[in-house]
Amino acid sequence: MPGQVSPTPVQVGPPGDPSTGEEVPRRVSSRYSLQDQVFIHGVRAVGYLVLVIVSSIGLFLGIQSVPTLQHYGLSFFTEFRWLPSQDVIGISGVVVGTVQVALIALVFAVPLAVLTALFITDWAPARLRPTLVRVVDLMAAVPGIVFGLWVLFVVQPHATEVAHWISKYFGWFPLFHVRTDVDYPIWNQAPGYPSYAGSAFIAAIAVAMMIFPMATSVMREVFGEAPLGEKEAALALGATRWAMVRTVVLPFGRSGVVGGTMLALGRALGETISVVLVISQTFEIKPYVLESGTSTISSLIASSFKEASPAQLSALLTAGFVLFCMTLLVNSLAAVIVSRSRGREVTDL
């Protein structure tokens, strides 16, 4: 329009090329300081060292397993008896016992870990939380032999009474069945298969105390990252504390619960000294977890390693290789699940 002055165009962004008038992106280069370079290369070296050590252990166990696998073949994995004097050796019984003890320990430890982690993050007073965190973490430093002795002398007398009550009223279920007369007047001296002590059920109590701190730590870290805005919004809308936890914290921390459970499972599969102290070692495949007698791969190695002949030593190392593969697989899956819990989707209220 007449009398109007058109505005002068202003160039926005990086300076352009004067010959063509096109914008040229600015090149950004990052230079690490000496301290940063030392830290980066040091962490990288430690990571490679761990990978080399784990790979060396697996390679060593795999090489030592060759003579046993050549001699026994697939029967080493299907045979449940361990009779070196008769040249009859197999690990199916101890594999079943290992899985039984680990799974029962998870039944005890995981609900307790979830409730403890939720209490620390959402119910405990702020001034009490650091103390609770230190107490739980301190449990991880307690040696396994301490928990084993505690279960052996303090828990087992009461746990056998619980096992007898469960077998008496729920013995129709195969897992809780015991091959003895549960109505015998002096039930702990009944003929046949009398003892409830030294069972997978009681050994799992000791293992549960070992894996509880690890599971609680992982779950607490994930629960603590739940979005504060959504938690406050749920409370502002009139939700109770439990409703807020159920609709916000638990959905957000689902991967943490699964990851902590699997990490605990990896620890439970390899627990040794507390199991050796508690169980009555037998080599048998049986579903009766309340009945006396079981065995695990780690307890078999610990109890037989010292007196083993070269052939028996190869068989024990083969069993160790199987346990190594089991724990490596479980821990790898747990690491993947925990890493995915870093980025979470928005929770629907």
Residue pLDDT, tens place only, 26-76: 676 667 788 888 999 999 999 999 999 999 999 999 999 999 999 888 889
CB atoms within 10 A of CB 291: 25
Q: Please state the φ and ψ torsions of residue 343, each to the nearest 5 degrees.
A: -105, 120
Q: Please state the φ and ψ torsions of residue 107, each to the nearest 5 degrees.
A: -60, -35
Topology of domain 92-340 in CATH is MetI-like fold (1.10.3720)
Residue pLDDT, tens place only, 158-177: 898 898 889 888 888 888 88
The model's pTM is 0.82
**Cα separation of the two ends of the chain:** 56
DSSP state of 339: H
User: How crowded is the C-beta side of 257, counted as CA atoms within 13 Å?
Assistant: 16
Q: Where are the domains of the chain?
A: 92-340
Count of positions (residues) in the chain: 349
> Picking from 191-200, 261-270, 291-300, which range would have the lowest pLDDT averaged per residue?
191-200
Alpha helices of the chain — where are they, by DSSP H? 34-72, 75-78, 92-118, 129-139, 144-150, 156-170, 200-224, 228-236, 241-244, 250-252, 254-270, 273-278, 297-304, 310-340
C-alpha 153, offset from chain centre: 26
CB atoms within 10 A of CB 125: 7
